[in-house]
Amino acid sequence: MRYDSDDELDRLLFALPLEEPPEDLRAAILTATVYRPSPIFKPWEIAMLGALAAVVVWLLGVIVLGGGTLFIDTVEAIGRRGLLALSNYTTLGWIAAGGATAIWLSIFTGFQPYAKGANAQRR
Amino acid sequence: MLAEVRRIEPMHAGPEDGQLVTMTLGGNGEAFATLVERYDRAVYHLAYRTLHDVEEARDATQEAFFKAYRSLRTFKPGAKFSTWIFAIAYHACCDRLNRRKRYSNEELPDRADPAPGPEREAIALDEARRLRAAIDALPEKYRTVITLYHLQGKQYDEIAEVLGLPMGTVKTHLFRAKEHLRKLLAAEEVTE
């Protein structure tokens, strides 16, 4: 066969079949793209977990390096402030008012988390 | 007209490539699967013809689609998806070729197919087989341009876009590639 003419060479070229890709290629592409399993944690969750881990490490470091005194002092200070707040009648009043409002709202909005269990017991 | 024949002209029914891209961006994974179905073979063909290695061609094809999927938002509306994916695949192949050259001081040997068995011997005289062998024997730049010509037809502007070369250079490369091919095919005919 002669290949002098451009048309003849073009005919040959365009008649050339494409290479056969490996059988699992398409599946591999799709698995790597659209069917890729979504990550277990979202980025903000990873950031939160990281921050939590950092706090735990810091606490452990404080306990180990400071012989526990700094940690205990800190916990004591937090506890003292908490007790101080709870011993204030105004604060307790606000907490009670908040709780009562929450219960009152839950009755009228239908959000009753214990209703399901109660119904089940009734049956 | 024969010269107007195009390998990748969308003959498929269904939505246009651009629509499929939009649908994919809207969260429709099946739309991207359709795009993969339409172009995986052509992209693999380009990768294999450029790299001459089944495994590397497979990886380059996968890499090209992965990159395309991740940067789908940068796809310009109105552009041709085939040209875009070929360009990504071509760059993936170039990276692999560069890496190969970096780790090898010698000129890279031609990675021909495994030794021909009796069946292969029998089809060795086949026209397509001879043409493939001739294409494989071309220098890399000519091989790529002739492969894209095979895939995209006479769309010189698109070939130029894929390769990142001026259109004049593409035409020159193509002209020389064809000349080389003619010589190789003629030489083979003489030896037979």
Q: What is the ipTM of this complex?
A: 0.72
Asked if B44's CB is within 8 angstroms of A33's CB, the reply is no
B47 CB-near residues (< 8 Å, 6+ apart): B56, B57, B58, B60, B61, B64, B89, B92, B93
Q: Are A9 and B182 in contact (CB under 8 A)?
A: yes
Cβ(B67)–Cβ(A72) below 8 Å: no
Is the pTM higher than 0.80? no
**Residue range B13-105 in CATH 1.10.1740.10:** yes
Per residue in B167-181, pLDDT (tens digit) is 999 999 999 999 988
Q: What is the identity of the amino acid at A76?
A: E
Half-sphere exposure of A65 (CA within 13 A, CB side): 6
B-chain residue closest to A32, CA distance: B66
| pLDDT at residue A38, as a whole number | 77
Q: Residue B160: which residues within 8 A CB-CB, separation 6 or more?
A: B166, B167, B169, B170
Residue B129 has a pLDDT of 80
* Reported CATH class of domain B115-192: mainly alpha
pLDDT attached to residue B41: 93
User: What distance in Å separates the CA atoms of residue A22 and residue B60, rounded to the nearest whole number?
Assistant: 13
Report the pLDDT value the prediction gives residue A8, as an integer from 0 to 100: 81
| DSSP structural state of residue B73 | G
CA distance A104 to B11: 66
Across the A:B interface, residue pairs with CB atoms under 8 Å apart total 89
Q: Do A28 and B62 touch (CB under 8 A)?
A: yes
Task: Locate all alpha helices (DSSP H) within B11-117, ordered by sequence.
Answer: 17-25, 29-51, 54-70, 81-102
pLDDT digits (tens, 9 = 90+) for B14-41: 788 999 999 999 988 899 999 999 999 9
The arithmetic mean of pLDDT across residues B128-142, rounded, is 86
Report the pLDDT value the prediction gives residue B166, as an integer from 0 to 100.
Answer: 92
Q: Do domains B13-105 and B115-192 have the same CATH topology?
A: no
Give the pLDDT confidence of A82-92 residue by residue, as tens digits. Answer: 888 888 888 89
Chain A CB contacts of B58 below 8 Å: 21-22, 25, 28
* Per-position pLDDT tens, chain A of length 123: 556 677 888 888 888 888 889 989 999 999 999 888 777 888 889 999 999 999 999 888 877 777 667 777 888 899 998 888 888 888 899 999 999 998 888 777 665 555 554 444 444
Q: Report H helices in chain A.
A: 6-15, 25-32, 43-65, 69-86, 89-109, 115-122
pLDDT mean over B38-59 = 92
* Annotated domain spans of chain B: 13-105, 115-192
Yes or no, beta carbons of A18 and B66 under 8 Å apart: no
What count of residues does chain A have?
123
8 Å CB contact of B58 and A1 = no
What span, in angstroms and rounded, lies between the C-alpha atoms of B157 and B180?
22
Which amino acid, B151? L
Phi, psi (deg, nearest 5) at residue B131: -65, -40
Q: State the DSSP code for B2.
A: G
- State the Cα–Cα distance between residues B5 and B81, nearest whole angstrom: 19
Which of B5, B44, B149 is facing A19, going by the closest CB pair? B44
- Cross-chain Cβ contact B65/A22 below 8 Å: no
Report the pLDDT averaged over residues B92-115: 64
- The answer to which of A55-59, B51-55, B60-64, B184-188 has the lowest mean pLDDT is B184-188
- Look-up: residue for tokens 């780790």? B103
B140 vs B49: CA distance, rounded Å? 9
Q: List chain B residues with CB under 8 Å of A4.
A: 182
* Residues A88, A96: Cα–Cα separation, whole Å: 13
